[in-house]
Amino acid sequence: MAQVQEIWNKLNPRERLTATGALVVVAAWILGIVARGFGVGSIGLLGAVAVLVVLYLKYANPSMQWPVAVPLITLGIAAIVALFAVLTLVDYLGYLDFIGILGIIALALYVIGALLMAWGAWQEYQVEKPALPNMSASSASSAPPAAAPPATSAPPEEAPTAPPAAPAETPASETPRSSSSSSGDKT
């Protein structure tokens, strides 16, 4: 428990907001099990646990190499959880009479926790502004060709080239005929 408290003290306020939202989602899932026999939003539970694990690993193992920036990871997970929470709320609006007061509280906590988690992750992303990863298939083919270094020696002598020939001009009295007539030959 001391290690968890130590990690919690290392979190900045935005990460604490994200972690608090994740903990509220976990509590809502547990309350949903008590209320109805199954949790509200199992995908939300998985996402909340994933966010907590990412934040824990960020400070427990600071030398860990992440594939992308941590704020981008937490924002992606939190956005998916928030989307599913809102969809779950819309889905259960017709059944509020049948789920009981504990089910309504669990649903409300799930939505509030997911939105809180997404808001904290969004704020952290805005502060950090990590560079988005390059997800192109091959970065070598999309890179522009390297410029040739400037020549330091005198260029070899070139043969003089003739100026390009001027195009022949048509007299103003002679206009080209349109080939759009459908009658064929005119004589």
Quick check: 93 pLDDT over 90? no
Q: Which long-range contacts (CB under 8 A, 24 or more apart) does 145-154 make?
A: none
Q: What's at 52, amino acid-wise? A: L
> pLDDT band at 159, cuts 50/70/90?
low
pLDDT of residue 116: 95
Percentage helix, strand, coil for the chain under 3-state DSSP, each rounded to 5: 60, 0, 40
Quick check: 146 pLDDT over 60? no
Contacts for 105 with CB less than 8 Å, ≥ 6 apart: 31, 35
Spell out the domain ranges in the chain.
Answer: 2-129
The residue among 120, 121, 115 whose CA lies nearest residue 28 is 115
Q: How far apart are CA 129 and CA 109, in angstroms?
A: 29
Of 46-55, 96-105, 120-129, 151-160, which has the strongest mean pLDDT?
A: 46-55
pLDDT of residue 161: 66
> pLDDT band at 128, cuts 50/70/90?
confident
